[in-house]
C-alpha cells in the first residue's frame, strides 16, 4: 500500500466527496482543522447552498464572504466560504472584464439569471472557478488581478464537494468547456482550472460508511476519477461503531449460541429483571449487531483491497459538536491523511 | 414521552397505492436516505396488489437497479421479472438516460436534417451528456412522456418517480418557469438575432450586451451558441408546453409527493425544506416516509438501567456487560430519534408519517423490497 501522497506535501486543494448521509461535511470540517495546524491558514468551501458548514461549526449562516470560523494549533486559522453562483459570476466578470455599463446591461437582459439558474453546466463552471481562484491566490505565476491582495491567501483549501455520484462530472466540467471554446479567455480559464485539478496539488478524498451502497459508490468513484486523471487521496471511513464484544462472543451472538444462563444469572445479580423475554431480547439485539459487524467487516475488506490509504472515524451517538471535530482532526493527522 | 408522536397522522402506504385516483407518486429527499428503495418498494407492492405500475428512477444504486432487472440503460421501461402478477398488476422499471431522452426529443420534433445538425453540435453534446441541470429538465420531459403514454395506451395506471439526490431535486418544479423566463426574455432575441435578421436592427442595449457576451465568450463560442439556439428554436416552444403541462399534472390531486428521510438531524432538516417547498408550490404532499428507524428492543429495559448494570458487571460477566451496553446504545438511539421526530412533528403537525424500521442488512433484491413494502403499509 503506497500512500497517494506524503502528508501535506504539495497538496493545496483537498476535495471531499461521499455519498449522502455519510458525513461528508463533517469530515471536510475536520480536515480543514487538521490542515490548520502550525499556524497555517485554510479555507473551507461549500457549494451546495445548504449552509452545512455554518450548522457544523455552530455559527450564523455564511454570506458570500470569507470568514474565520475556527482556529487550529499555533495560530492556525480556518476560514469558510459558502460559494454563491450569482455572486461568483459577478465577481468573475468584474475581475476579468471590467464591463462597466455593459455589465449592468447583462443583468437587465437576464443574462446573469440565465447563466446561474437556467443554463445547465454553468453553475459547476462558476463553482470550480471560484475554488480555483482561492487556491491559486497568492501563488506565483498566473494569478487573478483585482483580488490579488484584497483577500487572504491560503496554505490549503478544502472543498465540501457534491456527492460521489456527481463528482466526476463536477470536477471535469471544465474539460467540456475547453472542448467547446477552442480559443479565448474562457478556454484559458477552463484549461488552467483543469491543470490545477489534475496536478499533484489536488486530491479527492472519498467519505463512506461501511454499508454496501456507499462502499460500492466509493469504489466506482475511485475508478471514474482515475479515468479522468484525477488523484484520489484517502478513503475516510466514517460512522464506525465499536463493538464491545470479543471475537468469540460475536461469533456466538451471530449463531444464536450465547450462554443465556450466564447472562440471566449476571442480570439478577445487579437487580435487573431477568425473565426469559429480557434475556432473549438482549441476545436478539446482539445477533442483529453481530450481523451488522460482519457485514461491515466484509465492506472494510473491499475498501482495503483498493490499496488507498484509509482513516477510520468513529460514530458519535449524540451528534457532532466542535470538540468532536477537533478529535476527528487529530485522527486524520495521526492516520497521515494530511 | 410518546404522547405527541402518537398524535402524528399516519401515512398508510397501502391506502396511497390502493387509491385508483393517485396516478403519480414522486419520492424526494436528501441523498442516502433510501429514496430509490422507497420508490421501488412502493412500485413493487402496488404491482402485486393489482396496479399497473412503472418506476422511473433517476440515479439508482447499482445493486438496486440489478434487483429490478435494470442492467440496460436504454431509456425504455422494461418489465421487472419475479413480480407476482396474480392480482392482475404489472411492474415496469426504467432508469433515466438524460442524453437519450434529449436526443429523442430532438429526433421526434425536428426534421432529419436539423436533427443531424443539432446532434453534431459540440455545444449540444456537452449539454446533453455532461452538464448538471439538464437532468432536471429531462426528468420532467420523461415523466410527461410516461404520463401521456399511460393515458393513451392504458399500459400503466401508476407512475412512481424518484428524484435526483440533492437539494436541487425540486428544481425540476421550476423547469417550466425557468424555460419560460428565458424564452420570453430578451436574451433569446440576442441569441437568435443574427440568424433571423441583420445586426443593425439591434437596439443599443442589445448591441451592448452582444458586445459584452462576445468579449466574455469569444466570437467562436457565441457563434456556436447562436447556431445551437437557432437550431433548437422550433423545439423550445414544445419543451415549454410539455413542461407546463407536466407541472399542472404534478399540482393535480392525481399526484402524491412523498418526502423521504432518515431519522437524523440533517436528513430531517432537508425533509422540512422539501415539505415547505412543496407547500409553497401548492403541490399535493402525501406525507413523510422515515426510513431506518431504530426499534426499541423487546426487553423494555431503559438505557440508564442498562448502562448502570453494565458498569457493575464488567468483572463478573464481560459478555453480559457488553450486551447491556449494546442495548443501552440502542435505547439511547431510540430516544434521540423520537426527540427528532417530535421536533419535526411539532413544526409540521399536518404531515402524515410512515416509519420503516431499520433492517439488519442492505436492500438489493425483490424479497427485501417486499419487506420494505410491508413496513410501509404497517
Per the listing, cell 471535469 goes with A172
Chain B, 339 to 378: residues with Cβ < 8 Å from chain A are 360-362, 364
Name residues of chain A where pLDDT drops below 50.
1-7, 142-144, 146-149
Q: How far is residue A256 from each of residues A67, A248, A251, A253, B301, measured CA to CA in Å?
A: 55, 12, 9, 5, 21
Q: Residues B11-48, buried b or exposed e (16+ Cβ, 10 A)?
A: bbbeebbeeeebbbbbbbbbbbbbbbbbbbbbbbbbbb
For residue A43, the cross-strand partners are A79, A157
Residues in chain B closer than 8 A to A249 (CB atoms): 318-319, 322
Residues 6+ apart with CB under 8 A from B2: B338
Instruction: Quickly list DSSP for B42-54.
Output: HHHHHHHTT-EEE
- Yes or no, beta carbons of B336 and A318 under 8 Å apart: yes
C-alpha–C-alpha distance, residues B209 and A111, integer Å: 9
- Contact call for B31 and A19, based on CB within 8 A: yes
Q: Does B333 touch chain A (CB under 8 A)?
A: yes
Comparing B135 with A325, which gets the higher pLDDT? A325
Q: Which residues of A touch B224 (CB under 8 A)?
A: 180
CB pairs under 8 A between A and B: 235
What's the pLDDT at B127? 86
Kindly give, in sequence order, each residue whose CB lies less than 8 Å from that of residue B318, ignoring residues fewer than 6 positions away. A246, A249
Query: Which DSSP symbol is given to A245?
Result: S
Using a CB-CB cut-off of 8 Å, the residues of chain A touching B205 are 105, 108-109
Crossing angle for the helix pair A212-227 and A167-180, to the nearest 10 degrees? 20
Which A residues 88-147 touch B at CB under 8 Å? 93, 96-97, 99, 101-103, 105-106, 108-111, 113-114, 117-121, 123-124
Distance between CA atoms of residues B305 and B291, nearest Å: 28
Task: Note whether A262 contacts B: Cβ–Cβ < 8 A.
Answer: yes
Give the ipTM of the model, two decimals please.
Answer: 0.88
Answer whether B313 touches A (CB < 8 Å): yes
Instruction: Please state, as a whole number, how many other Cβ atoms lie within 10 Å of the Cβ of residue A307.
Output: 11
CB atoms within 10 A of CB A140: 6
Nearest chain A residue to B318, by CA:
A245
Cα separation, A37 vs A156, in Å, equals: 11
**CB-based contact, A74 to chain B, within 8 Å:** no
Q: State the pairing for strand pair B78-79/B90-95.
A: antiparallel
Using the Cβ of B325 and the Cβ atoms of chain A, whether some distance falls under 8 Å is answered with yes
Question: Which pTM does this prediction carry?
Answer: 0.91
At residue B200, the pLDDT reads 54
Between residues B297 and B86, the one the model is more confident about: B86
Q: How far is B152 from chain A (nearest CA, A)?
A: 32
Question: pLDDT (tens digit, 9 = 90+) per residue, B179-212?
Answer: 778 888 888 887 877 544 555 556 777 788 888 8
Instruction: State whether residue B338 is helix, strand or coil.
Output: helix
Cell of B105: 426529443
Q: For residues A156 and A205, is the Cβ–Cβ distance under 8 A?
A: no
Cβ contact, residue pair A262, B308, below 8 Å: no
Residue B337 has pLDDT above 80, yes or no: yes
Q: Can you give the pLDDT at residue B338?
A: 94
Amino acid at each position: 500500500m503506497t500512500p497517494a501522497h506524503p502528508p501535506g506535501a504539495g497538496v493545496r486543494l483537498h476535495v471531499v466527496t461521499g455519498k449522502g448521509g455519510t458525513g461528508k461535511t463533517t469530515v471536510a470540517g475536520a480536515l480543514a482543522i487538521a490542515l490548520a495546524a502550525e499556524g497555517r491558514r485554510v479555507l473551507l468551501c461549500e457549494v451546495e447552498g445548504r449552509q452545512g458548514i455554518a450548522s457544523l461549526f455552530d455559527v450564523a449562516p455564511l454570506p458570500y464572504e470569507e470568514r474565520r470560523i475556527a482556529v487550529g494549533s499555533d495560530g492556525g486559522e480556518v476560514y469558510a466560504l459558502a460559494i454563491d453562483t450569482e455572486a461568483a459570476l459577478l465577481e468573475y466578470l468584474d475581475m476579468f472584464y471590467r464591463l462597466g455599463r455593459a455589465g449592468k446591461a447583462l443583468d437587465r437582459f437576464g443574462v446573469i439569471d440565465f447563466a446561474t439558474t437556467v443554463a445547465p453546466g454553468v453553475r459547476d463552471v462558476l463553482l470550480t472557478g471560484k475554488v480555483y481562484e482561492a487556491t491559486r491566490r497568492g501563488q506565483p505565476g498566473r494569478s487573478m488581478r483585482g483580488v490579488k491582495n484584497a483577500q487572504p491567501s491560503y496554505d490549503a483549501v478544502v472543498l465540501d464537494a457534491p456527492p460521489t455520484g456527481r463528482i466526476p462530472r463536477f470536477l471535469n466540467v471544465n474539460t467540456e468547456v475547453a472542448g467547446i471554446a477552442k480559443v479565448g479567455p474562457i478556454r484559458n480559464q477552463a484549461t488552467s482550472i483543469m491543470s490545477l485539478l489534475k496536478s499533484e496539488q489536488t486530491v479527492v478524498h472519498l467519505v463512506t460508511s461501511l454499508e454496501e451502497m456507499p462502499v460500492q459508490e466509493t469504489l466506482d468513484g475511485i475508478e471514474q476519477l482515475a479515468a479522468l486523471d484525477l488523484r484520489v487521496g484517502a478513503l475516510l471511513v466514517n460512522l464506525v461503531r465499536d463493538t464491545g464484544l470479543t471475537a468469540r462472543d460475536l461469533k456466538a451472538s451471530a449463531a444464536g449460541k450465547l450462554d443465556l444462563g450466564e447472562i440471566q444469572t449476571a442480570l439478577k445479580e445487579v437487580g435487573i429483571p431477568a425473565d426469559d423475554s429480557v434475556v432473549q431480547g438482549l441476545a436478539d439485539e446482539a445477533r442483529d449487531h453481530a450481523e451488522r459487524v460482519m457485514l461491515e467487516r466484509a465492506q472494510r475488506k473491499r475498501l482495503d483491497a483498493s490499496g488507498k490509504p484509509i482513516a477510520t472515524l468513529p460514530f458519535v451517538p449524540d451528534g457532532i459538536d466542535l470538540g468532536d471535530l477537533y478529535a476527528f482532526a487529530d485522527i486524520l493527522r495521526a492516520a497521515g491523511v494530511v | 414521552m410518546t404522547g405527541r408522536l402518537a398524535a402524528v397522522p399516519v401515512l398508510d402506504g397501502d391506502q396511497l397505492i390502493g387509491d385508483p385516483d393517485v396516478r403519480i407518486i414522486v419520492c424526494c429527499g436528501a441523498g442516502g436516505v433510501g429514496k430509490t428503495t422507497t420508490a421501488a418498494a412502493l412500485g413493487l407492492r402496488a404491482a402485486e396488489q393489482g396496479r399497473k405500475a412503472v418506476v422511473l428512477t433517476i440515479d439508482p444504486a447499482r445493486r438496486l437497479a440489478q434487483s429490478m432487472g435494470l442492467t440496460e440503460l436504454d431509456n425504455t421501461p422494461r418489465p421487472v421479472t419475479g413480480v407476482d402478477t396474480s392480482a392482475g398488476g404489472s411492474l415496469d422499471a426504467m432508469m433515466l438516460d438524460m442524453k437519450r431522452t434529449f436526443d429523442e426529443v430532438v429526433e421526434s420534433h425536428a426534421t432529419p436534417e436539423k436533427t443531424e445538425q443539432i446532434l453534431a453540435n459540440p455545444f449540444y453534446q456537452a449539454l446533453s451528456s455532461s452538464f448538471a441541470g439538464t437532468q432536471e429538465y429531462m426528468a420532467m420531459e420523461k415523466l410527461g412522456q410516461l404520463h401521456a403514454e399511460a393515458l393513451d395506451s392504458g399500459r400503466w395506471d401508476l407512475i412512481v418517480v424518484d428524484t435526483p439526490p440533492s437539494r436541487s431535486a425540486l428544481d425540476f418544479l421550476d423547469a417550466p418557469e425557468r424555460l419560460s423566463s428565458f424564452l420570453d426574455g430578451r436574451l433569446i432575441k440576442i441569441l437568435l438575432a443574427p440568424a433571423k435578421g441583420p445586426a443593425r436592427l439591434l437596439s443599443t442595449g442589445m448591441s451592448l450586451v452582444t458586445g459584452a457576451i462576445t468579449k466574455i465568450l469569444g466570437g467562436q463560442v457565441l457563434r456556436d451558441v447562436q447556431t445551437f439556439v437557432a437550431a433548437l428554436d422550433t423545439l423550445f416552444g414544445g419543451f415549454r408546453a410539455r413542461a407546463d403541462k407536466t407541472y399542472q399534472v404534478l399540482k393535480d390531486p392525481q399526484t402524491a409527493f412523498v418526502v423521504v428521510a432518515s431519522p437524523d438531524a440533517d436528513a430531517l432538516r432537508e425533509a422540512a425544506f422539501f415539505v415547505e417547498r412543496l407547500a409553497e408550490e401548492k403541490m399535493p404532499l402525501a406525507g413523510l416516509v422515515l426510513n431506518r428507524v431504530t426499534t426499541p428492543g423487546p426487553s423494555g429495559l431503559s438505557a440508564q438501567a442498562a448502562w448502570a448494570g453494565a458498569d457493575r458487571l464488567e468483572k463478573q460477566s464481560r459478555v453480559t456487560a457488553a450486551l447491556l451496553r449494546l442495548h443501552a446504545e440502542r435505547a439511547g438511539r431510540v430516544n434521540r430519534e423520537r426527540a427528532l421526530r417530535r421536533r419535526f412533528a411539532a413544526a409540521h403537525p399536518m404531515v402524515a408519517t410512515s416509519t420503516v424500521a431499520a433492517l439488519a442488512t442492505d436492500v438489493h433484491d425483490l424479497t427485501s423490497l417486499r419487506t420494505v413494502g410491508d413496513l410501509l403499509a404497517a
